[in-house]
Amino acid sequence: VIAIAFIVGIVIQYHLRLPMGIILGSIAAVILLILLLIFRKSGFIAYALILLIALLGILDLEYNYITGIPIKTFVDNDVEIIGDCIQREVMDKSTYILKTDKIIYEGKSFLIKDKTLLRIFNYDGESLHDKKIKVKGILEEPDTARNPKMFDYNLYLRTSGIHTTLNTKSNKIEIMTSSNLPYIIKLRHRLKSFIYSEIFNRFPGLHGKVALSIIFGDRRILDDELYETFKASGTAHALAVSGLHFGILFLFMDYILGIFKIQVEYKTIILLSTIWSFAFIVGFTPSVIRASSMITLFVISSLLDRRYDLFSSIALISIISIVINPFIIFNVSFQLSFFAVISIGLFNKPIYNKLEKLPEFLRKILAVTLAAQIGTAPLIAYHFNIFSPVAVVLNIPVVFLLGIIMPVSLVFFVFLFINGSIAELIAVIDKIFINILVGINSLSSYIPFSKFDVVSPSLTYIVIFYIVLILICYKDKFPYIKRLKIKDICITILIVTIVINSFHLIFPKKLKITFIDVGQGDGMLIQTPRGRNILVDGGKERGDFLSEFLLKNGISYIDLICISHFHNDHTGGVLDVLKNIKTSSVAIGTKDYASDEWEKIEGICNEKGINVIEFNRGKSILVEDDLTLISLHPKSRIMTKTNDDANNNSKVLLLKYKDFKLLLTGDIEAEAEMEILKENARVDIDVLKVAHHGSKTSTSKEFIDFFSPEIAVIQVGKNFFGHPHLDTLNKLNERGVKIYRNDEDGAVIIETDGVDIDVKTMIK
């Protein structure tokens, strides 16, 4: 209860950011209330204490926000920093954690003790690990999420206690002396560096990389294709040091020490020394801290002949971790590690009891595997948008193989320091089992429907999922539920889910337009009140960025994709969406300026049976009641001999929803703008998507005055074209148009009920 209340407080503060004065005042008021309840011997004292703990969680997060401020006073300034370098990864000599001692700014020195992430462009020199350096550069605050529900780099670094980054070049670094890092940190780096160099020299190729990845959790040394097979099969946890690895190490050491019949006290010392030494070498990630701490509590409880309680242990460990760094609850590794153990604690026994017809050994492995897989499935779906039905089956042999590979690999690494010849013999055994492991994981690519891309579930659905699991596993504990059959519980929950999903049909939402931050390009998502999804352009091709964005935001189906024209900064992401997201129709303006990208898009549309519409001037689409898309340009006879024919024949759309109007202009320039003014009646709009990323050759005064927008959105990223041009910005400012830009504001989200308009930006 204490742990949950503390975490709830942190989550509340993360979203609300209450001022420190209100927090301290509330704590004082609750303390007075508790004293009053104690005096009156009230039964509500426990509830008041829970409220106090939640407030302490709020205070903990706010304190960590405030204590990160000193180094931030130098953000966006050219500074010199003196500090000690810690290399993040053995194979990466260009990225370091810089423990700052002093910051020099405008000739003045400031003693600042903090950590910053140092990146050196194109660096291939000697490692700076264990060096005290002076480095020049511009201190920056890491980017927050630039698009809704996408990766938040700022928050990710905060989970490691890092508040700033410094990007620089090798010629701006001066090595001063050796660092003041503790000897044990230096020793760890030497051990890992030796093991890595020996592996790559003696055992190059797949086997050495997999062994290193299993022991040190270093997935970056693996080929992307190999890692994807582990990810697709739901066994990627084998390549990230977790509780499973520590459990295997504990059982292996316990078995070896048992053979020698060592006294319990000495056995405990050796076991805990081994566990914490391994934790130190691989690094204190959240899952490592959780696993090593739980084993410690388990061993000590056995030594003291006290009952070990899993939930009390994990609650204690989580509270200590969160008090030290409250941002850690947003770390994916922390969430998966703790939920896996909680799930095993909750669901292992009920699943084990249901598998009574299986052999005991298989029954135990399957129960634990199922409990962990089922319990973490919603989180994996939320963070990675993957569901693997074969994961449960494949995890049984994978866990078994890991129980062999890990001890053999550890013995192999130890003998690298003792005798290379013996190490090579052990490596032969290791290779056999690693080959089997890789082979089993590759099976997933041959099994139909082995992996599904799924939308990120909402918090509501995650909560419903766990309630259903608990009701099914513990229905006898609930007076009104135990009379029901499991089938009845599932049907009831299914009906509730369908009703929740149908709310938007009964009670329409607002119209939502997201101007996605796709960098230097255009990409807009329109979500209608009745739940339809329209994508207008898709930015440049950036892997699976756009399909990931859609899945993260709960979208697995696109009703209509509108492509303004066939330049890569508008069509690149559309290819990604068509490959990965089910789509009904694609609308274009004209095929006359088709490109290689269009040929690929047309090929996918033909292959998947996606309807292609030529949507030119005079045509309209009634999307749903009160919501219409009208094409203002191009006409059937295209414009020629203009400054840029492809741009000037961009599709221009007017979206009407009740009294709200939005104009989407593609990359049209002045010639097309004049054509539109001649051919269409004047109309006042609310929002203008500024043409051609705010270039000088677009958005004429006449065009702005004709449509008279209140809000302008410029889809632009870092570029060498001078976008948006100062002339364009001045023309909009002179007319009192409120300007939003992706490069400064991140994604721009507009919501409207057809009358009132609400604008939000990702970067405040």
Region of residue 455 (phi > 0: left; psi between -120 and 50: alpha; otherwise: beta): beta
Per-residue pLDDT band for 496 (boundaries 50, 70, 90) equals: confident
Digit-coded pLDDT (tens) for 265-285: 889 999 999 999 999 988 888
Q: Of the given ranges (179-188, 304-313, 686-695), which has the lowest mean pLDDT?
A: 179-188
**For residue 161, what are the CA distances in angstroms to 13, 75, 154, 195, 336?**
18, 16, 10, 28, 20
- Look at residues 108, 105, 101 and name the one whose alpha carbon lies nearest to residue 85: 101
From CA 596, how far away is CA 306, in angstroms rounded? 70
DSSP 485-496: -HHHHHHHHHHH
Residue 330: φ, ψ to 5° = -90, 0
Task: Assess whether the previous peptide bond of 70 is cis (omega < 30° from 0).
Answer: no
Give residue 56's pLDDT band: very low, low, confident or very high (50, 70, 90): very high
Q: Which residue has the tokens 């850690």?
A: 328
Distances 562 to 431, 552, 705 between C-alpha atoms, Å: 52, 21, 26
Q: Is the pLDDT of residue 761 over 80?
A: yes
CA distance 113 to 103: 9
Q: What is the pLDDT of residue 413?
A: 87
What is the rounded distance in angstroms from the CA atom of residue 211 to the CA atom of residue 199?
9
Average pLDDT over every residue of 456-465: 87
Contact 668, 698 (CB under 8 A): yes
Q: Is the pLDDT of residue 205 over 90?
A: no
Average pLDDT over residues 531-544: 93
Residues 749-760 pLDDT 10s: 999 999 999 999
Q: How many residues does the chain have?
A: 764
Residue 200 has pLDDT above 70, yes or no: yes
Residue 674 parent element (H or E): helix 670-679
List pLDDT tens digits, range 609-622. Answer: 999 999 999 899 99
Residue-level pLDDT at 670: 93
pLDDT in tens, 363-384: 888 898 889 989 999 999 999 9
| Run of H or E residues at 215 | helix 206-216
What number is the average pLDDT over the span 536-545?
92
Cα Rg of the chain, angstroms: 30
Alpha-helical runs (H) found in 233-387: 243-259, 264-282, 286-303, 310-324, 332-354, 360-384
Q: What is the number of alpha carbons within 13 Å of residue 570 lying toward its C-beta?
A: 25
CA neighbor of 166 nearest in space, from 71, 24, 283: 71
- Give residue 505's pLDDT band: very low, low, confident or very high (50, 70, 90): low
Mean pLDDT value across residues 82-86: 94
Buried b (16+ CB within 10 A) or exposed e, 678-709: eebeeeebbbbbbbbbbbbbbbbeebbebbeb
Q: What is the pLDDT of residue 510?
A: 94
Residue 303: band (very low, low, confident or very high) from pLDDT cuts 50, 70, 90 = confident
Q: What average pLDDT does range 112-134 have in this prediction?
A: 91
Query: Side chain identity at 756, as an amino acid letter?
Result: D
Residue 388 has pLDDT above 70, yes or no: yes
3-state SS, one letter per residue, for 458-469:
CHHHHHHHHHHH
443 pLDDT band, cuts 50/70/90, is confident
pTM, whole model, 2 decimals?
A: 0.89
User: Which three-class secondary structure state does DSSP give residue 311?
Assistant: helix
**Residue 381: what pLDDT?**
92
Higher pLDDT, 428 or 493: 428
- The single residue listed with the structure tokens 């999922």 is 465
* Secondary structure of residue 314 in the 3-state scheme: helix
Position with higher pLDDT, 742 vs 597: 742
Q: How confident is the model at residue 345 (pLDDT cuts 50, 70, 90)?
A: very high
CB count, 10 Å around CB of 655? 25
> How far apart are the C-alpha atoms of 286 and 283, rounded to whole Å?
9
Predicted pLDDT at 123: 86
